[in-house]
């Protein structure tokens, strides 16, 4: 069976015309049929014929036309990834004796700019240190990143709130982990005084996430149940800034301990109280694709410890 499969694979590869692939590769990188035709000194019609033959061979359209612009389809992006690897391998062949290495796989990851860096590292850890894999990391706002995901410019987006899904927004939110939220502060701040959660919230200033987050909503409800109006020393959108303010000792920070994991392990900060009923959930958002990036599957299955 193996020999039969190898024979079939060899026959399939033998019929792939790499000239067609190179023309497609050039157009995909230029993004313009006219410019590519001029650069390669061929007519636009000849270039179109070569690409059409490749599409017929692969059984999928590689470009779609929107107005006067050519945009890669999902199959086109997959083909471009392979073409990049194929032609990079040709260049590497020349430099083999200089140890230029093998072609690399790529994973394009978007992450909410305010998301915990420790969480992002935990998600990517199975791929870290692998020399044949390139991680392309991008941060930004949720709307911007989800648009890039829909445009197939990203393979996955890491967020802490699942996006809405309907017929027009085919997002798939993979729940990776739920982290408890705690009060965190310096040992000096917690050395004396209050011993209960309610007393700490009453006696110490607090560093809170911004009002549009789930953590903040939960905290406000908790303070209301205790009948406390907390002294807010800072409202911060960025978890990295909350981490720095907590280290400065300006107040007790309300955040998931994973954000300050290194500081807690070193003793610089102390997790003093876990806040009941408040947690931050982390999601990896993908879209339904016919050709999902194979590097994603082990990451989604592994979750985050």
Say if CB 302 and CB 212 are below 8 A apart: no
pLDDT at position 13 over 70:
no
The predicted-structure confidence for 208-246, as pLDDT tens digits, reads as follows 998 878 899 999 999 999 999 999 999 998 888 999 999
Closest CA to 303 of 178, 171, 118: 178
The vertex-77 CA angle with 75 and 80, nearest 5°, equals 110
Write out the two tokens for 188. Answer: 């000096």
pLDDT of residue 96: 47
Write out the two tokens for 42. Answer: 């061929």
Domain locations along the chain: 2-96, 106-177+283-302, 178-281
Share of the chain above pLDDT 90, in %: 34
Q: What architecture is domain 178-281? A: 3-Layer(aba) Sandwich (3.40)
Share of the chain above pLDDT 70, in %: 87
| Dihedral (CA of 263, 283, 254, 275) sign | negative
The predicted-structure confidence for 70-114, as pLDDT tens digits, reads as follows 888 999 988 888 888 787 777 665 654 454 444 558 899 999 988
Query: Identical fold at 106-177+283-302 and 178-281?
Result: yes
Pairing of strands 133-140, 105-112: parallel
pLDDT at position 251 over 70:
yes
Average pLDDT, the chain: 84
CATH class of 106-177+283-302: alpha beta
Residue 173 to residue 169: CA distance in whole angstroms: 12
pLDDT at position 118 over 90:
no
Say if CB 287 and CB 302 are below 8 A apart: no
Say if CB 96 and CB 41 are below 8 A apart: no
Residue position matching structure tokens 């690409």: 51
CATH fold for the domain made of 2-96: Arc Repressor Mutant, subunit A (1.10.10)
> Where are any strands of DSSP class E within the chain?
63-66, 69-72, 105-112, 133-140, 156-159, 171-185, 206-209, 232-236, 252-255, 270-287
């Amino acid at each position: 069976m193996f020999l039969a499969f190898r024979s079939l694979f060899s026959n399939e590869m033998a019929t792939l015309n790499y000239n067609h692939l190179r023309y497609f590769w050039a157009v995909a990188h230029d993004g313009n049929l006219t410019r590519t035709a001029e650069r390669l000194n061929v007519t636009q019609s000849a270039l179109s014929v070569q690409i059409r033959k490749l599409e017929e061979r692969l059984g999928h359209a590689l470009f779609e036309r929107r107005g006067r612009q050519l945009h890669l389809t999902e199959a086109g992006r997959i083909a471009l990834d392979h073409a990049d690897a194929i032609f990079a391998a040709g260049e590497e062949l020349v430099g083999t004796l200089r140890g230029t290495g093998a072609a690399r796989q790529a994973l394009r990851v978007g992450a909410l700019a305010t998301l915990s860096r420790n969480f992002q590292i935990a998600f990517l850890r199975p791929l870290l240190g692998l020399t044949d894999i390139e991680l392309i990391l991008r941060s930004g706002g949720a709307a911007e990143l989800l648009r890039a995901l829909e445009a197939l410019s990203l393979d996955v987006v890491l967020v802490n709130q699942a996006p809405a899904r309907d017929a027009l927004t085919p997002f798939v939110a993979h729940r990776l982990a739920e982290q408890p939220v705690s009060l965190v502060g310096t040992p000096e701040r917690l050395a004396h005084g209050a011993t209960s959660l309610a007393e700490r919230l009453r006696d110490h200033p607090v560093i809170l996430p911004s009002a549009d987050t789930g953590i903040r909503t939960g905290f406000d409800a908790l303070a209301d149940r205790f009948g406390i109006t907390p002294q807010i020393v800072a409202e911060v959108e960025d978890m990295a800034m909350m981490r720095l303010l907590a280290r400065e000792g300006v107040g007790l920070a309300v955040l998931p301990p994973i954000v300050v994991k290194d500081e807690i392990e070193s003793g610089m900060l102390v997790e003093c109280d876990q806040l009941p009923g408040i947690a931050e959930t982390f999601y990896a958002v993908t879209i339904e694709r016919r050709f999902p990036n194979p590097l994603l599957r082990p990451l989604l299955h592994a979750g985050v410890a």
